Amino acid sequence: MTYATHGLTGADLLKGYSIEVMPRTAAKIEDFKALLPAGTRVYIAHIDGTPIADMVATAGRLRRDGFEVMPHFPARSIPDLATLKDWISRYQGEAGVDQALVLAGGNARPVGDFGSSIELLQSGAFHQAGFRRLHVAGHPEGNRDIDPDGSTRQADAALRWKAEHAKTTGVEMAIVTQFLFDADRAADWMAGLRREGIELPVHLGLAGPAKLQTLIKFAIACGVGPSLSVLKKRARDLSKLLVPFEPDTILDDLARRAQADPTVLPAQIHLFPLGGIAASAEWASRQGAGHLRRVVG
C-alpha cells in the first residue's frame, strides 16, 4: 500500500466522507441532495424495533437520490440464516443495495443463531448475493465485549481473519471505526494494525458537531472511554459549553500525524451526526468537503 501525505490538511481528510443515518432522522430531511455531495456513502443504522421495511425504504430513497447506501447488518439482532437472506434480498431487490456494514451489534446476547460478524461472513450469504463491498467494525479504544482484559488481542485476530476473508473472496473490504475524540489514539491504533500486517483501509469515525453534553452522553453509551477525557477537559471551559463541539482539531492532529507517519493516514472519514444530519453536512461543507446546493422556493 502506498501513501501520499505531503502538505496534507485536516480539510483534505474530510473529502469524500461518509455519514450515518437512522430511518426516523432521515425522514426529517426533506432533500438529501441539498445537503450531501453527490455519491456520498450513507450508512443505514439498524435500530432494533424499527421495521425492516422502514430501513429498506430509507435505503431505496437514498439510492434513488444517487447516494451509495450501506445498511448495517448486526449479527446479534438477526435470528437465523433465513432472516439474514431475506434482509439481503430486500435491500438488494427493493433498494438496489450491494454493500453492507457487517458487525456484531450492540446487543449483549444474540437473539438467535449469530453472535459475531465473522459468523455472518462465514454464512456465505453476502457472497452468494453478489455484494461487492463489505465493511467491518473497528475499535481504536478497544471493545470490552471482545477483549474483557482491555487489550486488543482478540479484536486484532478477528480483523486478521476478515482481511484474509477479503483476499479469499475478492470482496472490497474496509474497517469503519467507532467515533472517538483523540487523534493520537486513532493514529497509534492504525499504526498497530499495519505492524500486525492488517492492510485493510480504515474509515475513521468522528462525531459531527454537537453539544458537549450530547457527545458525552453518546460516548458513555457507546463505550468510548479513553478519549472521553478530551471532552471533559473542554467541558471545564464554561465558555465552550455554549457552542457545539466540532472535530476540526482532531482532523488537523490526524493530518499532522499522517505527515510524520503516512501509514496512519485514514482512507476516509465517517461522520456520526450526533448533533443532527444537517449540522454535520453543513460543517463538512464549510471545511470544503462538499458544496451545499441551496434550494430556493
**Structural contact between residues 190 and 156, judged by C-beta atoms closer than 8 angstroms:** no
The label of the residue with cell 448475493 reads 129
* Residue 122 domain flag: yes
* Residue 296 domain flag: no
Q: Is residue 138 within a helix (H) or strand (E), and if so which, with residue range?
A: strand 133-138
* Residue 70 domain flag: yes
Classify burial at 168, counting beta carbons within 10 Å of its beta carbon; exposed 0-12, middle 13-18, buried 19 or more.
exposed
Look over the chain and give the mean of its residue pLDDT values, rounded to a whole number: 88
* Residue 154 domain flag: yes
* Residue 61 domain flag: yes
CATH of the domain at 103: 3.20.20.220
Query: How many domains in the chain?
Result: 1
Average pLDDT over residues 122-133: 97
* Residue 56 domain flag: yes
**Structural contact between residues 175 and 138, judged by C-beta atoms closer than 8 angstroms:** yes
Q: Which residue type occupies 282?
A: E
DSSP line for 236-258 = TSGGGGGS-B-THHHHHHHHHHH
Out of 36-40, 113-117, 203-207, 232-236, least confident range: 232-236
- Give pLDDT tens digits for 232-277: 665 555 445 455 788 999 999 999 999 999 999 999 999 999 999 9
Average pLDDT over residues 65-81: 98
Q: Angle 144-148-150 (CA atoms, 0-180°, nearest 5)?
A: 80
Looking at the predicted structure, is the pLDDT value of residue 190 above 60?
yes
Residues 6 or more apart in contact with residue 154 via CB below 8 angstroms:
146, 147
* Residue 197 domain flag: yes
pLDDT of res. 108: 87
**What is residue 205's three-state secondary structure?**
strand
* Residue 297 domain flag: no
Looking at the predicted structure, is the pLDDT value of residue 5 above 90?
no
Phi, psi of 188 (to 5 degrees): -65, -40
Percentage of the chain modeled with pLDDT above 90: 71
Q: Which domain holds residue 211?
A: 10-286
Cα dihedral 201, 97, 74, 247 in deg (nearest 10): 50
CA distance readout (Å), 46 to 11, 50, 156, 164: 29, 8, 25, 26
pTM of the complete model beyond 0.75:
yes
